[in-house]
A and B are shown apart, each in its own frame.
Chain A
């Protein structure tokens, strides 16, 4: 792999960049792999990467129906944080956050992790108590957060209206080392590193069936023929239900659309990520200068990836309430992402009823921030059959009534 650096760019500049090779290969599928991952989004690629890096498993194919990183990885608001309440969530999201810190160096691909800080506004007494609880939990989970005063909030984010007429800001849960990253770069960086380890990324290849023998997986039928494998990882977000059906089991999952939009780019005005859960909106400013705004998820099952309007209206009203300057900006583009919601709104990283099939899904609205932690834990689960990071996220928890409920800490989508 050609290393990326400022020197390499300078060298290439002199010959009009004719020397750069492909970032990742475009191989035809082999007949059989040790491991097949279905889904070349962030989670699938990260899983493959850590299978190779941490467990020495490189006979891996990552199969993608469309283009790598073309699903929710490239269609989210890029927030990275780990200020979760429940231990299992805090563990996997903090693992992810810490891996994001060094990801550019690990992958030799600048994913532009920007630890600009994430602030979750407390706008009711109840919300304030919830965040105080999270701050105490985080202190024991190795997640550095603090509850800050309204004055600190204003200092960090001067465009905020602390004394909103309906929901004055009573403080905020602040995670200084949280932030954002360039979403596409995460998928591309992992893809390049996987390809470099000799893994096959097979794009525009749709899985049409899962083959089994004696309760054990043997491979997948695809639009490019049968691909055999010893282990199969299903990492396809919104389409998990369809894959599970092919493999003969059901999931506690429903796919709904999460709405988001961006404004036209303006000069820097907001130096952190702000989430306002009481009024259901969140906001950050991208490196391009666009205000990236997310709101609620529709409640009905939806596979269209289209933007709708009802949530956009509500979110905008709420945000103008707290950030009055937004009134004079313009919405540039809106879209919907298909997110897979579980019964407790926490993900599933689990073995399945079929021997050799593992599933990683149900990230709902929180998937991007988890990518490296999810890949790390899921790779360990696939390689060793057990991972402390994924232990609590098994499928059986719904039967047992052992939920991981973050709703006290995260009322809205993120």
Chain B
């Protein structure tokens, strides 16, 4: 059983006990523990259940690659599933629960899948649940989906904050082991700006655990010195608990800093995302140890040799009293020595190699440890959930048991694979080493940046350099190469190092070599997803022979560790099954992030109120205080209507319309786009932009116009006011201002760049207020100032002047059919004018109205609305707006497009008014039915509703729509569909429902 050792633990502070809870059980650890170490120290070997077979699982690794020991951490809004116990620093009050079991970790009903595992091989679900069809939908699929997933879902109400930090550096170094430190030391001597990242809470990586000596001092000492030098260097920034998560194009990189995960609730953001633009990137990301594939290798108590060593050396935790080490390389002998040194027993070292005579094996033998070469593990024996013994066999054979060795922990090592993820994210290629049996970066096929130059290099073990002095030399050389590319001269050096000599390893992908199918079906490759050697072999047998096919068919490497432990072993087994060399099989693609990063940090601070900018007109506060029922219009908020207490939306809209038509209404039109177009060629430019002629407009006059895109479709409409010979003020729709301004600039900059025109988007510079209704002129006269009489300002004219002692520009235009003035005033005076108008209008019961009343009133007058009558597929001709399309102009945007056969067709649906026979409101979006069906069996149609409202003015439903040959079919009754399958009849009428002769507006 695992327990805390009485001494040792270089990372823990035994003077600072920490209490925490696991599955409701109170436990104690020390400051500096990670959760996995603390659980082991409390005798908790089983930490989770696997995904498919629900097998009990113990921790197998000691770092970010951990696939088994995943827990649900925290509570309530802070609850987070799938947190790796190995990367969770212990803190006082931590609560964790284990995952993927029911009812409990110790007794899990789902484990029945494990006994049935023979019936659930790779891809079994593709081959079954096919019949009967209904059973899939009602029985199998719901069951499969219920068993999906690992951790419990998180909860809403995350109380923590997240932050983004933007930084530009010359050199980014990812990884704070000795390679990263050496690279940083090399760069520190220059004036290059350096950022060095380490994912763990402490620097130095594995070197202190492995016991190397550098420059004549212990690694730990060397690291301390290096840090002192770097901290003193003004050009170096150091961040720990900060993982380089991804390398992106053109020198972009992301890093994920876990600021307060180890002290929840502390001030500041929980996570910080570093958005880094680096001139050069060095990844000193080390290597990961591979498991060995032997029968029973997934049992709790079996772990990586390096992890077992870490738990002893770093945390003073014994994973077991009697340890068996199984290996194909010399490094695992270090674990044996560490076990021995801590006072525990090494039952035996099982080495698959025919011989092991390097200094490390020799040291073990000298220490009295039994070493068995040419041997393998044939099976693992359990008593309950505790590991009791291993069976030993010859590696060369089929697995006949030679001996049974009692033990309660197994340390396995299948060799080391460099972490090449970041190198590969942006296209770095790999080579296969026939010495170390791993993929390592091919320095001739590197990721390239915006200049086509190399921008990612690896350092140390990540380069495939395995010995300490090679690691340090390689790191220094990589740094120099990167610095030289940045234009800094630097010098590489190679500190002396000892203690890392190793003999040759041997490739051992299956143990023993001649294992039976039965044994292979107990050899785990992917622990979390329950993919075994037999599954990969089955995939190969069935023709899923591309590595991508095998991965997807078996789910190998698709667990939360993304194959960090399983990919190379799986690849080797696949290659073996296909009888081809490993490099020919190739690798799967490495995709960011290196380990999962929180979605909270991806979103950063831009959630809630800061999700998108909220644009407010100068009168926003007044609306809010006066019952505005808001509607989002782009990033603006506009009042949909102003409800009085107890009033429904519908009633409010009716009231607003009736008061406006009968007396006086008031609209905040500030969101309307206002773009100044000025210059000697402004008229010529607007003639190209609008379908009608604008250059002939006289100063002081307004003209309604249509803008199409080059594809012929109507984009926007609005009133153009000519201010003087050279200047026009273009009004666009509220949502369209930015887009139309960009559209103008596009044409001016990229096509007609020699035209003398300047544009400015003045939308937010002016507040605009529409005063609408029979009493509008009386109100303006009451405000006092400029002459707004019929004679002084005719319909479609504008003038600058003063009203209520404010500087204004008044346009006599109307979107409602009423006598109407739109008053523009500098934005900072908008609220003042609004309030003066409201006050002065009291005698006429002035009524502010919202967007819905605006829409209804324009529909009563048959005015089109961009976005209702148009949808990106409608041309002006469809809307009977041919009068606004100049016949004289040779060219305007969209003119050529509108000459294409389908655009010029007489069969296009055209705008009409629609009146239901029963006076009801036509359903929004309804289609006009035609006889029969088309070749695809769809009901034929002959038109559709584009706008439909209840008109309080007329007391009935009114609508506009596009109908085949519509204008020629006045009076005809059509059937419009309802979603319930019934239909409603409506008559084709003139789209102008109200005041056809314009008597109300022309007073």
Contacts and interface: CB of A to CB of B under 8 A. Distances in A.
Query: Is there a contact between chains A and B in the complex with CB atoms less than 8 Å apart?
Result: yes
Interface of A: 4-6, 8-10, 12-14, 16-18, 20-26, 66-67, 69-70, 74, 87-88, 90-91, 95, 101-102, 104-105, 108-115, 123-126, 129-137, 139-142, 146-147, 159, 161, 165-167, 182, 184-185, 188-189, 203, 263-269, 285-289, 304, 306-309, 312-313, 316-321, 324-335, 388-389, 391, 397, 399-403, 405, 407-408
Interface stretch (B147-155, B311-319, B616-624, B793-801): B147-155
* Residue from B150, B592, B903, B934 whose CB has the most chain A CB atoms within 10 Å: B592
Contacts of A285: 148
B158 A328 contact: yes
Given A4-B128, A110-B129, A126-B867, A324 B602 contact: no
Nearest to B640: A125
A269 B154 CA distance: 9
Given A165-B609, A330-B599, A333-B591, A136 B926 contact: yes
Contacts of B900: 399-401
A107 to B, nearest CB: 9
A136 B925 contact: yes
B981 A321 contact: no
B153 A331 contact: no
Contacts of B426: 306
Q: Which interface class (under 10, 10 to 19, 20 to 34, 35 or more) fits B?
A: 35 or more
Interface string B898-936: 101111000000000000000000011111010000111
Interface in B513-542: 517-518, 521, 534, 538, 541-542
Given A8-B127, A287-B145, A105 B934 contact: no
B126 A142 contact: no
B81 A309 contact: no
B415 interface: no
B599 A264 contact: no
B24 interface: no
B607 A321 contact: yes
A166 to B, nearest CB: 5
A334 B144 contact: no
Contacts of B589: 335
A296 to B, nearest CB: 14
A331 B555 CA distance: 18
A6 B128 contact: yes
Contact of B119 (A5, A9, A324): A9
A266 B938 contact: no
B552 interface: yes
Nearest to A302: B249
A79 to B, nearest CB: 16
Contacts of A66: 546
B25 interface: no
5 contacts: A5-B130, A9-B124, A110-B128, A288-B555, A332-B560
A309 B608 CA distance: 21
A232 to B, nearest CB: 25
Contacts of A335: 589, 591
B398 interface: no
The 8 closest A-B pairs by CB, nearest first: A289-B149, A133-B925, A401-B900, A328-B154, A330-B596, A388-B935, A4-B127, A16-B517
B914 to A, nearest CB: 14
B606 A317 contact: yes
A377 to B, nearest CB: 10
Contact of A327 (B150, B600, B977): B600
Contacts of A184: 549, 552-553
B74 to A, nearest CB: 8
Nearest to B127: A4
Nearest to B149: A289
Contacts of B541: 17-18, 20, 22
A269 B549 CA distance: 29
B118 interface: yes
B529 to A, nearest CB: 9
A328 B903 CA distance: 51
Interface string B416-458: 0000000001110000000000000000000000000000000
Nearest to A203: B546
Contacts of B151: 264-267
Given A267-B153, A401-B903, A141 B521 contact: no
A388 B897 CA distance: 27
Contact of A326 (B597, B599, B611, B944): B599
* Residue from B151, B591, B712 whose CB has the most chain A CB atoms within 10 Å: B591
B543 A320 contact: no
B405 to A, nearest CB: 28
B924 A133 contact: yes
B941 A140 contact: yes
Nearest to B273: A313
A388 B602 contact: no
A279 to B, nearest CB: 8
A146 B981 CA distance: 12
B971 interface: no
Contact of B611 (A133, A264, A318): A318
Contacts of B144: 287
Contacts of A136: 923, 925-927, 944, 977-979
A109 B126 contact: yes
Given A67-B546, A330-B80, 13 more contacts: A17-B121, A23-B544, A129-B925, A132-B924, A140-B929, A264-B82, A264-B596, A267-B150, A304-B427, A324-B158, A333-B592, A403-B873, A408-B871
Contacts of A8: 127
* Residue from B148, B597, B897, B900 whose CB has the most chain A CB atoms within 10 Å: B148
A189 B553 CA distance: 12
B121 A13 contact: yes
Nearest to A160: B156
B425 A306 contact: yes
B404 interface: no
B614 A105 contact: no
Interface string B565-585: 000000000000000000000
A81 to B, nearest CB: 17
A407 B872 contact: yes
B902 A400 contact: yes
Contact of A91 (B125, B631, B936): B936
Given A16-B517, A17-B538, A139-B977, A327 B598 contact: yes
B937 interface: yes
Contacts of B158: 324, 327-328
Interface stretch (B131-139, B288-296, B501-509, B650-658): B131-139
Nearest to B136: A104
Given A70-B546, A136-B979, A328-B79, A317 B126 contact: no
Nearest to B152: A267
A264 B936 contact: no
* Residue from A67, A101, A159, A333 whose CB has the most chain B CB atoms within 10 Å: A333
A40 B595 CA distance: 32
A309 B614 CA distance: 24
Nearest to A137: B927
B502 to A, nearest CB: 34
A329 B936 CA distance: 44
A407 B711 CA distance: 15
A51 B871 CA distance: 38
Contacts of B549: 67, 69, 184, 188
A182 B451 CA distance: 40
A360 B582 CA distance: 36
Contacts of A188: 126, 544, 549, 553
